[in-house]
Amino acid sequence: MPPTPKASRNRAREADVGNAGSPEQSVRDYLNFLADPDGSTDPKRIAALEASIEVATDHIERLRLLAALEEARRPNGERLLANFVRDAKEWAEAESIPASAFTQLGVSDAELRQAGILKAGRGPAHRRSSDRTTRRVSVEDIKAWALDQPDTITIKDVTTALGGSLVTANKALQALVAEGSLSNIGPSADHRGPGRAPARFMVAKKRKAKA
């Protein structure tokens, strides 16, 4: 027997990542993005959305689910950061997680202040390099730098060289890929260490040929 419209709506609500995310999920999603901006999708969430789309009968609900699926397949760093800023303090207080723990996982002092976890003007004493990582770097600055690199680069290479955030670095590199100026050649096969191998980028061959 096919699911009733009510059942479809219930499943849609459960799978709709835009509305049903818990504070813990917001924190997890952003930390995953920081660890691997190009590979931080959630396969289980994508599968749940696809299943809900299959059984949804209301066209408006299907539109919402399709939009959520598109976001889930291509994480938007700015949206993930906004969700983190909104929810992280509530979750951190409930779990007794200090600001220093977030710092060790790559969350900047500026982001912790936005979230209310770190008071303005204060930060871990050992992070004197935070000015470098949080100073403003434009997307155009990053594009120009990336296209001038002779070897492969990662998103982390951008922030190490120029400063700025992983969100901005990822946005700039993905824009270059969409323009055809940069190629995403995938992760390194000989990666060692914790987490996934980061995606590598290089100037597209057709651009090199023109140069």
Q: Are 137 and 109 within one domain?
A: no
Residue 36: which pLDDT band, with cuts at 50, 70 and 90? confident
pLDDT for residue 122 is more than 60: no
Give the closest residue to 183 by CA, choosing from 166, 164, 208: 208
What is the rounded CA–CA span in Å between residue 56 and residue 10?
Answer: 10
CA atoms of 99 and 97, how far apart (whole Å)? 7
- Let me know whether 162 and 114 are in one domain: no
Give the per-residue SS3 of 127-184.
CCCHHHHHCCCCHHHHHHHHCCCCCCECHHHHHHHHCCCHHHHHHHHHHHHHHCCEEE
Where among 78, 93, 120 does a domain terminate? Answer: 120
Rounded Cα distance, 77 and 70, in Å: 14
Neighbours of 55 (CB within 10 A): 14
Residues 114 and 138 reside in one and the same domain: no
What pLDDT was estimated at residue 58?
Answer: 94
Tell how far CA 116 is from the center of its chain.
20
137, 77: one domain: no
* Host domain of residue 17: 1-120
Residue 11's pLDDT band (cuts 50, 70, 90): very low
> Quick one: 99 and 143 in the same domain?
no
Q: What does pLDDT average to over the chain? A: 79
44/91 same-domain check: yes
Is the residue at 125 inside a domain? Answer: no
Structure tokens at 159: 């922030």
What digits encode the pLDDT tens for the residues 49-107?
999 999 999 999 999 999 888 877 777 788 889 999 999 999 999 999 999 999 888 88
pLDDT at 21 (0 to 100): 67
Give yes or no for a contact between 103 and 91, defined as CB atoms under 8 angstroms apart.
no
Per the model's pLDDT, the better-predicted residue between 20 and 115 turns out to be 115
Q: What pLDDT, on the 0 to 100 scale, is given for residue 12? A: 41
Same domain, 115 and 198: no
Residue 127: inside a domain: no
